[in-house]
């Protein structure tokens, strides 16, 4: 099974580090695609270095822009990579433009999507992140909810039970060695 982990921002890099380490520990076939939503050394590369993560195979270098412009660039770039690589699963984490655009690109190509941190809600639709969370959850095939409450929220939104997996929080519930090794 070929897995693409897509990150684009500092929080995604940090929170996906334990997942990346576990995939490596299990000798799974995976690689990292970086959208470049965050691109300065202090918001990006420093975390790959400090967390000793493998470099991304692709970096779309989308940079800044309006939410629509940034999302569109990511959607197009991710689609191109997915068509070249033909993965079985795309893993995304959180609620950024990178997450939503990557999930949409995968779904439209009939590639399975796993959403880490599924089911989190602020109930404030004025937050762009809230829209990203909801839409990503509703187009994902595997929803990795951090808590029972998140699972309840997803079930309340009509997401089938068999798609939801309570996994805990990748930072809080991971052994320190997986986060900092």
Asked if residues 145 and 118 have their Cβ atoms less than 8 Å apart, the reply is yes
DSSP annotation of 123 reads -
- The predicted model gives 5-23 an average pLDDT of 93
Q: How far apart are CA 105 and CA 82, in angstroms?
A: 8
Query: Rg for the chain (alpha carbons), in Å?
Result: 15
pLDDT at position 178, please? 47
Of the candidate CATH numbers 3.40.50.2000, 3.40.50.300, 3.60.15.10, 3.20.20.370, the domain formed by 2-180 belongs to: 3.40.50.2000
Q: How far apart are CA 121 and CA 137, in angstroms?
A: 11
Mean pLDDT of the chain: 92
Digit-coded pLDDT (tens) for 68-106: 999 999 999 999 999 999 999 999 999 999 999 999 999
Tokens representing 163? Answer: 């798609």
Q: How far apart are CA 73 and CA 60, in angstroms?
A: 9
């Amino acid at each position: 099974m070929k897995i693409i982990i897509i990150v684009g921002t500092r929080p995604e890099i940090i929170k996906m580090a334990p997942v990346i380490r576990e995939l490596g520990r299990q000798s799974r076939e995976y690689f990292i695609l970086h959208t470049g939503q965050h691109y300065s050394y202090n918001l990006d590369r420093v975390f790959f270095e400090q967390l000793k993560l493998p470099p991304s195979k692709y970096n779309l270098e989308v940079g800044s822009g309006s939410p629509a412009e940034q999302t569109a660039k990511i959607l197009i770039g991710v689609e191109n990579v997915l068509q070249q690589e033909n993965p079985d699963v795309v893993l995304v984490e959180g609620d950024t433009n990178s997450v939503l655009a990557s999930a949409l690109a995968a779904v439209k190509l009939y590639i399975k999507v796993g959403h880490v941190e599924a089911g989190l809600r602020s109930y404030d639709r004025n937050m762009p992140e809230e829209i990203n969370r909801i839409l990503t959850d509703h187009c994902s095939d595997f929803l990795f909810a951090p808590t029972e409450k998140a699972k309840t929220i997803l079930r309340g939104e009509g997401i089938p039970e068999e798609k939801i997996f309570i996994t805990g929080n990748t930072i809080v519930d991971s052994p320190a060695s997986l986060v900092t090794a």
